[in-house]
Amino acid sequence: MRLLVDVGNTAIKAVLYNQGCYKPCELNALPWPQINDMVFACVGSTELLAPLIKLAEQHKVTVYEAKVSAKLENLKCAYEHFTNLGIDRWLALIAAYVELPKQHCIVVDAGTATTIDVLNSEGEHLGGWILPGLDLMTTSLTQNTQKVFDDGQTPFAAELGRNTPNGLKNGALVATVGAIEQAKRHLNNENSCLLFAGGYGKLLAEQFAESEFDSQLVFKGLNYWLELTLKQ
């Protein structure tokens, strides 16, 4: 059994991987005697992780930290300074590379920020964009303008707005959808897989006829990162 850990800015999420299954778990109730190794990715403070690493060491569990590299197997990072690419973006790309082999793919992770990354069928990461997330788009407008407001109840929808709250919410959604459509042009509009993750990933996936939402995408990337790294 493998423990997969994603360390954010304010919280830690964990999943147990065993025989092809990914199962979310609580950190205060881990089956340590059954865990063989632990893989973590950290975008926040490592202080949040310290107690967990200490427990792993006490139970003689091997610990690995996932890192961005210029190349992993045939997957190539677009960034010249590859360490500047966020580890969550790299892990999502790894998951797409493994699960959708030899296919053009656009990977979207929609959280506080929305990241869009383009991967071609040769495993070459062509680059990507970082956009404000849907909530950040709307709050930046309500906080920095006098007459734009949100009522806290209006949902996001790809429709023309007929009042200020849905004009605000829908504008944020269609702006993000437009960026994803623009990403397709960097694959010459050839058939590409659209793969979504993150809190607003499902909503965005629903805006496209052929797409896939995977809530475990980053955790799958963690698992594949270790498997591919150990093969090298």
pLDDT by residue (tens digit) across 24-40?
A: 999 989 999 999 999 99
Q: What is the mean pLDDT of residues 58-64?
A: 96
38 and 107: one domain? no
135 and 42: one domain? no
125 and 205: one domain? yes
Q: Which domain CATH number covers 45? A: 3.30.420.40
C-alpha dist (Å) from residue 170 to 3, 60, 222? 39, 51, 34
Please name the helix (run of DSSP H) or strand (run of DSSP E) that holds residue 224, with its range, or none: helix 217-231
| Per-residue tokens: 84 | 């500047």
Q: Which of 111, 117, 137, 121 is nearest to 192 (CA)?
A: 121
- Answer yes or no: is pLDDT of 44 > 90: no
DSSP string, 117-176: EEE-TTSBEEEEEEEE-HHHHHHHHHHH-SS----S-PPP-SS--SSHHHHHHHHHHHHH
203 and 136: one domain? yes
Q: 80 lies in a domain?
A: no
Which residues are catalytically annotated?
A: 88
Count of domains in the chain?
Answer: 2
C-alpha dist (Å) from residue 171 to 29, 100, 165? 43, 31, 10
Q: What is the mean pLDDT of residues 130-144?
A: 94
Note the pTM of the prediction, 2 decimals: 0.94
Q: What is the Cα–Cα distance from 120 to 126, expressed in whole angstroms?
A: 7
- Answer yes or no: is pLDDT of 210 > 90: no
60 and 111: one domain? no
Q: What is the Cα–Cα distance from 82 to 67, expressed in whole angstroms?
A: 10
Residue pair 95/218 in contact by the 8 Å Cβ criterion:
yes
- Answer yes or no: is pLDDT of 212 > 90: yes
- Answer yes or no: is pLDDT of 10 > 90: no
60 and 106: one domain? no
| Per-residue tokens: 45 | 């403070």
Q: 206 lies in a domain?
A: yes
Please name the helix (run of DSSP H) or strand (run of DSSP E) that holds residue 49, with its range, or none: none
Which range marks the domain in which residue 23 is found?
2-65
Q: What is the Cα–Cα distance from 77 to 67, expressed in whole angstroms?
A: 12
- Answer yes or no: is pLDDT of 181 > 80: yes
